[in-house]
Amino acid sequence: MDIRKGVVISRTNLIDSKKEATLPWKGMGLIVLITLALWGGAFLYRDYVQRKTETLQQQLTSAKSGRDYAKIALVADSQSRLNSINAALAERIDWNLFFKKLEENTIPEVTFTNLEARNPGDNNGGGALAGTAGAKNAEYLVTLKGTTIGLNNLAKQITVFEGMKNDKTDPLFQNIRIEKTDMKKTEAGQAGAAKALDFIIDATINPSIYQNNSNNNSATNSVLSNP
Amino acid sequence: MPAYLKISLLPLTGVVCLIIIWLLVKPVYDSAKALDGVTRPQLESLVQRENEMQQRAEKLSSEINGGEQVNSILYAIPEAEDAKDLLSQFEFIVNQEQMSLTSLSVEQKTNELGAVGVVSPTGKSFRELTGNFEVRGSYSQFKQLMANLAKLNRVVNIKQLEVANATTEEGATTGKFTLTFTAYWQPPITTEDVRSGLESLELGQKTGGLTNNLP
C-alpha cells in the first residue's frame, strides 16, 4: 500500500519549503472500523454457535429423558442372546448326519461294536490320536471297535473310509489309523477258513463338516431366521 | 507533528489493530470455530444417534414382544441354569423313545467366557452347563433320541458320545449310549445394566461390549 496516498500536500505555504501533511484519518478510521467489525463479528459468531449448541444440548437432554431403558434392555438382551445362540449352534455337531454317513460307508462284512467320539480340546484331552500329527483340538477323535472275518474285509473297510477321506467335498474321516487287530483262534477242523478279526480304528473328523446342518428343524433356528 | 510521524501513523494503526485482532478477536473466533466445528457436529450426531437408538429400540421391542420370539430366545439360552428343567426334558425324550435312562448328572462350568469365548453385553457371557447321561436301547431308538435332542427348544450340544454293547438284566443284548452334553445359560441384561452402560458410554468409557448390543 502506498502510505503516501492518504497524505495531502499543502501548496499554500510558499515561503517554507517544508511540506506539511494532515493526519490520515480516513485510512486509520477504516482500519479501526474493520478491526471493530471483526471483533463484533467474532462475538456474534460465537454467540450464534453457543445458542445453537445450547439448543442441541437441550434436544439431547430431552431425547435422553425419553429413553425407555426397559425396552432398550429387552432389545440388548435379545440381541446378545441371539449372538450366543448363534455361537453355540455354530459348534453343534450333526451326529445324525455322522451316523448316516457311517452307515452308508460300512461294508456288510464289518460290524462295529463300539464307537467313541470326543473332542480332546474340549475337556478330557488325551485320546488315541491326541499326540499324532494332524490331530488338532478342533477335530473330534473317533475310536471304532468292530469285528469282521479276515483281514481282507478290514482292508476293504479302510479303503472305503480312505475313499471318503479323499472326497474333498464330503469326507467322513480325516485321519484313519488301525490301532489294534486281534485275530481269533480257529477251532480244529476250520483250518483254511478266514478267521474272525477284532479291530480298533482311530480316526479324526473335522467338526466343521457336521456343523450347522442339524439346526434346520430346531425351534431356536426359527428364532434366528426371523428378521 | 512531524511529517514522518504523520506518515507512519497509518501503518502504526494497522499494526496495532492487527495486534488487537490477534490478541482479542482471534481467541473469540477460535473458540466459536471449535464449538461450530467440533462440539456442534458431535452434539448433532449424538442427538441423531439417540433418536435412532430410541426408534430402533421401539421398533425392535415391539417386534420381539409381538411374536413368540422372546420366549423362544429365552428357552434357547435361559437366564438361569434351569438344570432341573433340562433334566426333565431329557427324561421326557428318553421316555418318549422308550429307552431306559440309567444315569444322569449335570455340573456347571466355572468359566464365564462360554465355549467359544463370546463375550456378551456388560461383560456377561453365556455360561455352560455340562453333564452326561447314559441310556440303553436300540440303535434306531438312539438315532431318534439324537434327532429329538437337536430339536429341543434349549440349545444343547452333544460334545462326546460313546456307543457300546450291553446286556440287559434278562440277558439280552442292547445298546449302551453315553452322552456328554453342554447346555447354555446367560444372565439377563437388566435396565440398570443398560443405564450404567449408556452413562459410561457418554463418559467416553468403554463398556465391555454393551454398546455393541444396544439397538
At A18 the pLDDT is 55
When scoring B194, B195, B211, B214 by the number of chain A Cβ atoms within 10 A, the one with the most, hence best to mutate, is B194
8 Å CB contact of B186 and A60 = no
Residues 6+ apart with CB under 8 A from A61: none
Residue B125 lies in a domain: yes
B7 & B106 share domain? no
B158 & B178 share domain? yes
Residue B61 lies in a domain: yes
Q: Which residue segment(s) compose the domain that B92 sits in?
A: 76-185
8 Å CB contact of A85 and B77 = yes
B114 & B159 share domain? yes
Quickly tell me which residue has 492487527 as its cell: B18
Residue B46 has pLDDT above 70, yes or no: yes
Residues 6+ apart with CB under 8 A from A134: A174, A175, A204
Cα B183 to Cα B131: distance, rounded to the nearest angstrom: 9
Cα A34 to Cα A30: distance, rounded to the nearest angstrom: 6
On whether any CB of chain B is under 8 Å from the CB of A107, the answer is no
Provide the pLDDT confidence category of residue B118 given band limits of 50, 70 and 90.
very low
State pLDDT tens for residues A209-218: 777 554 443 4
> How many CB pairs (< 8 A) connect A and B?
260
Residues 6+ apart with CB under 8 A from B102: B134, B135, B136, B176
B89 & B173 share domain? yes
Q: The domain that contains B141 carries what CATH number?
A: 3.30.70.60
Of A23, A38, A49, the CB nearest to B32: A49
Q: What are the residue boundaries of the structural domains of chain A, listed by start?
A: 1-12+19-67, 68-92+220-227, 95-211
Q: Which of A165, A227, A96 has its CA nearest to residue B161? A: A96
Identify the sign of the CA torsion B188, B130, B73, A85: positive
B2 & B46 share domain? yes
User: What stretch of H or E contains A203?
Assistant: strand A196-205
8 Å CB contact of B21 and A35 = yes
C-alpha cell read off for B138? 436300540
At A9 the pLDDT is 55
Residues 6+ apart with CB under 8 A from B113: B119, B125
B10 & B53 share domain? yes
B32 & B121 share domain? no
On whether any CB of chain B is under 8 Å from the CB of A217, the answer is yes
Under a CB-based contact definition with an 8 Å cutoff, are residues A201 and A173 in contact?
A: no
Q: What is the mean pLDDT of residues A127-152?
A: 66
When scoring A26, A61, A74, A124 by the number of chain B Cβ atoms within 10 A, the one with the most, hence best to mutate, is A74
Cα B146 to Cα B140: distance, rounded to the nearest angstrom: 10
B150 CB neighbour count, 10 Å cutoff = 23
Q: Which residues of A touch B191 (CB under 8 A)?
A: 69-70, 73
What is the architecture, at CATH level 2, of domain A95-211? 2-Layer Sandwich (3.30)
- Enter the ipTM: 0.74
User: How many domains is chain B partitioned into structurally?
Assistant: 2
Of B160, B162, B189, the CB nearest to A80: B189
B41 & B92 share domain? no
Residue B29 has pLDDT above 80, yes or no: yes
Residue B157 lies in a domain: yes
Which of A:15-34 have CB within 8 Å of B? 18-24, 27-28, 31-32, 34
Residue A202 pairs with which residues in a beta bridge?
A143, A177
On whether any CB of chain B is under 8 Å from the CB of A53, the answer is yes
B96 & B35 share domain? no
Residues 6+ apart with CB under 8 A from B142: B99, B135, B163, B175, B177
Chain B nearest-CA distance from A210, in A, is: 12
On whether any CB of chain B is under 8 Å from the CB of A39, the answer is yes
Q: Which residues of A touch B78 (CB under 8 A)?
A: none
Provide the pLDDT confidence category of residue A126 given band limits of 50, 70 and 90.
very low
On whether any CB of chain B is under 8 Å from the CB of A66, the answer is yes
Amino acid at position A49, single letter: V
Under a CB-based contact definition with an 8 Å cutoff, are residues B195 and B122 in contact?
A: no
Q: Which of B23, B18, A52, B19 has its CA nearest to residue A44? A: A52
Of A34, A122, A220, the CB nearest to B72: A220
At B134 the pLDDT is 93
Of B24, B40, B213, the CB nearest to A53: B40
Chain B nearest-CA distance from A202, in A, is: 14
At B201 the pLDDT is 75
Residues 6+ apart with CB under 8 A from A107: A153, A156, A157, A160
Cα B82 to Cα A86: distance, rounded to the nearest angstrom: 20
Q: How far is CA A35 from the centre of its chain?
A: 60
C-alpha cell read off for B50? 439417540
Q: Which residues of A touch B7 (CB under 8 A)?
A: 3-4, 7, 21
Under a CB-based contact definition with an 8 Å cutoff, are residues A83 and B213 in contact?
A: yes
Quickly tell me which residue has 447321561 as its cell: B133
Q: What is the mean pLDDT of residues B57-85?
A: 82
Give the SS3 label for residue A20: coil
When scoring A19, A58, A67, A78 by the number of chain B Cβ atoms within 10 A, the one with the most, hence best to mutate, is A78
Residue B176 has pLDDT above 90, yes or no: yes
How many Cα atoms are found within 13 Å in the side-chain-facing hemisphere of A161? 24
B29 & B84 share domain? no
Of B13, B73, B146, the CB nearest to A95: B146
Poorest-pLDDT segment among A24-28, B11-15, B47-51, B88-92:
A24-28
B57 & B82 share domain? no
Query: Angle, to 10 degrees, between the axis of helix B40-66 and the axis of helix B69-76?
Result: 90
8 Å CB contact of A60 and B50 = yes
User: Which chain A residue has the Cα nearest residue B36?
Assistant: A49
Phi, psi of A201 (to 5 degrees): -110, 130
Cα B148 to Cα B62: distance, rounded to the nearest angstrom: 32
Average pLDDT, whole number, for chain A? Answer: 75
Residue B116 has pLDDT above 60, yes or no: no
At A186 the pLDDT is 59
Cα B22 to Cα B32: distance, rounded to the nearest angstrom: 15
At A19 the pLDDT is 55
B82 & B105 share domain? yes
Phi, psi of B151 (to 5 degrees): -95, 0
Among B9, B42, B66, identify where a domain stops: B66
On whether any CB of chain B is under 8 Å from the CB of A71, the answer is yes
